[in-house]
Amino acid sequence: MAEAPELPRSWGGGSEPAWRAVLRKAYLFTYLRGWLVWSSYRAQVALTLVGWLVPVFLYFLLAVFLGAAGSSISALDGGSYIAFFVVGLAYQGFVSNLVGMLAQRIRNEQMMGTLEHVFLSPTSPGAVLAYSSLFGVTLNVVATGVILAVGWGVLGVHFVVNLPTVVLATVLLAVSSTGLGLVAAAFIMWTKQGNPVATFFALFTQFFAGVLFPVSVLPSPIRFLAYSVPLTFGLDALRSGLLQGGSISSQAAPLAWMAVYALVTVPLGIWLFRVVLQRTKIDGTIATY
């Protein structure tokens, strides 16, 4: 494993401005604890890249086999099926990783026996969770970019990008999914093993959120299930912003629904995580796994 470089001397000890403390902790968690550790395991890096790209080519070959490659489908409003699933896979992976990220980090700390020290450190639990997510979020953004780039450069997807729409939709999708991530983290704190929230979310969104096929082809009695997760609204806005140059005003409805989802799930997730954390401290089970 790569050796961590020494910190700048101006960052060690003593009082420092708040902004510098934030940058120092972001550096520690993202570069030292995130990138250097992750990149030192070359097999893991290679397998991660394979995991990003295999589904894209798998569904491309499936589309070729079924005769849908490069064709327009009425349910897609005349859009290419390849472009449809490339955007869907890129952002479904982005969101699924966000939902499971905090729970996985907590599980790793439990297994290494460091979770109790982390949450008893001077840094607040909320800040620890936020800093711990920085590298994962960065990696997710890179993965999304790689999949979209392969779609454009290899599979011939034609993008007509409205950047403000794409940026706003991505931010709202990330924030609206954070609440579910906090719920998943609370589950792993309490149950120690198993992550039903993240597992269910990944499977559910594959089939119901419009990742691989339009929501409109779902049977009418269960179509409402698609709108129980923010990814469905996010994909509507992102496909418009990436493939059709759709403006923010034209995507006001899905953007607003993601904002509403965030206002409900993020406070709920924070509350639930605090309750579980306090309970494990009282029971003395925070360090067990």
Query: What does 122-151 look like in DSSP terms, one character per residue?
Result: SS-HHHHHHHHHHHHHHHHHHHHHHHHHHH
What residue segments make up the domains of the chain, in order of their start?
A: 43-283
- pLDDT at 196 > cutoff 80: no
**Where is average pLDDT lowest: 20-34, 115-129, 214-228?**
115-129
Which range, 136-140, 161-165, 206-210, is most confident? Answer: 161-165
- pLDDT at 59 > cutoff 90: no
What is the amino acid identity at position 50?
Answer: V
- pLDDT at 169 > cutoff 90: yes
Q: Are the CB atoms for 214 and 76 separated by under 8 Å?
A: yes
Structure tokens belonging to residue 53: 């790209």
Structure tokens belonging to residue 179: 């609440």
User: What is the maximum span of the chain, computed from C-alpha positions, in angstroms?
Assistant: 66
Can you tell me the distance from the alpha carbon of 123 to that of 136, in angstroms, rounded to the nearest whole number?
A: 19
Reported confidence tier of residue 7, pLDDT bands at 50, 70, 90: very low
- pLDDT at 227 > cutoff 80: yes
Single pTM value for the model = 0.76
Reported confidence tier of residue 93, pLDDT bands at 50, 70, 90: confident
- pLDDT at 126 > cutoff 70: no
